[in-house]
Amino acid sequence: MRTRLRHFYKAKNIIKTKPAFAMVGCTPAFLKKYLEKQFYPHPKTNEKMTWKNHTFYGLHVDHRIPLSSVKTIIDKYKLCHYTNLQSM
């Protein structure tokens, strides 16, 4: 999460004002459990999602509303919140 946010800020020339997980709104352990609750079987292969298949072509975490839609500082905090993340 930290790395992804850093790359996003750098690309958009946004100054970071809070630590990454303060913006995400939870601890890393809570976030992991939150995302695991969203795991589902692959629609074609029926392979179950696990952290072991966390790759570019396998399981990945994405934002429901993309970070690229940030217009204000309030938007930035809303979109970085863990409730805007999903397992895919």
CA distances from 15 to 1, 6, 27, 78 (A): 16, 10, 22, 16
40-60 pLDDT tens trace:
887 788 878 888 877 767 677
CA distance 29 to 49: 18
Q: Which residues pair with 86 in a beta bridge?
A: 62
Reported confidence tier of residue 65, pLDDT bands at 50, 70, 90: very high
- pTM (2 decimals)? 0.69
Instruction: State the pLDDT at residue 1.
Output: 65
Q: Where are the domains of the chain?
A: 2-83
**C-alpha distance from residue 46 to each of 15, 17, 32, 49, 66 (Å):** 42, 42, 22, 9, 27
What distance in Å separates the CA atoms of residue 45 and residue 43, rounded to the nearest whole number? 6
Residues 1-48 have pLDDT tens digits of: 677 777 777 887 777 777 777 888 888 899 889 988 888 887 788 878
